[in-house]
Amino acid sequence: MPTVRWLPSHSGPKANRVTNDDLKMFDLKAYLARKAQRINQALAAILKTADEPDRLLQAMSYALLAGGKRIRPILCLAAAETIDGDSQEVLPAACALEMIHTYSLIHDDLPAMDDDDMRRGQPTCHKAFDEATAILAGDALLTLAFQMLASIAVNKPEQASKWLRVIEHISHAAGYCGMIQGQMLDMASEQKPLTLAELKSMHRLKTGALIEASVRCGAEMAGVNSDQIQMFERYAQNIGLAFQVTDDILNVEGDPEIMGKAVGTDEQRHKTTYPALLGLAESKAFADQLVENALAALDAFDQKAEPLRAIARYIRHRNR
């Protein structure tokens, strides 16, 4: 049985921090591409710890390495860099967050849940393999994420308390008090319309909890103080909700070719969404206000928070 361990890169500490020169002409597209490439390389290295690329590992790789925006792990890195932390140090947490997010997508797409055929521009995992393999691939990615984090605590006992806090934050966000409970409420909403307050609460759990954990883990590992963590929390709460409002809008008027998945599915399933409750125009205004709230939460930070600011704007104006 292979041992899963975190394999750090050999890049120096300066390469893992954002400098003022990097931010003079900040290019979000280039920043996202650079960070996504770094995350993808790390994820691929983690999966290579298995001896044989059997069917289960093939399904795990198929889903995990299919691309995607990598917003959650990038937020983790960007939060650390905002307070001049070393993003290499938080990269394991970023990778764990993406593995957990991918597991949730695999399970959300299953016939028993959303029954989707396309994800990230390719057939969903249960369509490409089979339903049982997809369930096990999701389970394996979830377990592997925590195995990898725990291995750091075991092999670096002087850092164990820090990594245990990371594990606690992520497990709470991903568990029955967070993302899983949000998914349960989402399924129930197909049978019973939700109020606006209930819809906000559901998405705070389903989508927002893991986004909040991404920002919090990056910031805490970089040495955030008590005042700063409240600012990061306000930022994350607002972009987490803005992400879901924008998702709802895209499900109405997005381009399936760009999005890599079908649109109009929320209405077909009779789901309560922001456009259904508020209308498209008011939903867009609500998303805009959430982004403004997120940006205001970062007022006390300097230029190093520019990636977080740009990501907040991107979340609102993305097309997939």
Predicted confidence at residue 320, as pLDDT, reads 83
Predicted confidence at residue 1, as pLDDT, reads 43
| Segment 187-246, tens digit of pLDDT | 888 878 899 999 999 999 999 999 999 999 999 999 999 999 999 999 999 999 999 999
23-34 average pLDDT score: 87
Band (pLDDT 50/70/90 cuts) for residue 298 is: very high
Is residue 24 pLDDT above 60, yes or no? no
| Segment 125-164, tens digit of pLDDT | 999 999 999 999 999 999 999 999 999 999 999 999 999 9
Predicted confidence at residue 129, as pLDDT, reads 98
Single out the residue of 81, 90, 2, 98 nearest to residue 43, CA to CA. 98
Single out the residue of 94, 307, 316 nearest to residue 213, CA to CA. 94
Higher pLDDT, 319 or 168: 168
From CA 257, how far away is CA 273, in angstroms rounded?
22
Domain definitions of the chain by residue range: 27-317
Q: What pTM, to 2 d.p., does this model score? A: 0.91
Residue with tokens 């920043």: 31
Single out the residue of 298, 168, 176, 189 nearest to residue 238, CA to CA. 298
From CA 200, how far away is CA 218, in angstroms rounded?
25
154-181 average pLDDT score: 97
Band (pLDDT 50/70/90 cuts) for residue 7 is: low
- The class of domain 27-317 in CATH terms is mainly alpha
Band (pLDDT 50/70/90 cuts) for residue 83 is: very high
| Segment 47-58, tens digit of pLDDT | 987 666 799 999
254-261 average pLDDT score: 82
CA 34 from centroid of its chain's CA atoms: 17
Q: Which residues on neighbouring strands pair with residue 61, listed in sequence order? A: none
Tell me what the pLDDT averaged over the chain comes to. Answer: 91
| Segment 89-124, tens digit of pLDDT | 999 999 999 999 999 999 999 999 999 999 998 999
How deeply is 226 buried, as exposed, middle or buried, from its count of CB atoms within 10 A (0-12, 13-18, 19+)?
Answer: exposed
Is residue 287 pLDDT above 60, yes or no? yes
Residue with tokens 């900040």: 26
From CA 214, how far away is CA 196, in angstroms rounded?
25
Buried b (16+ CB within 10 A) or exposed e, 92-115: bbbbbbbbbbbbbbbbbbbeeebe
265-269 average pLDDT score: 86
Strands 118-119, 122-123: pairing kind: antiparallel
Token pair for 11:
């890049």
Q: What is the residue type of 308?
A: L
From CA 320, how far away is CA 316, in angstroms rounded?
10
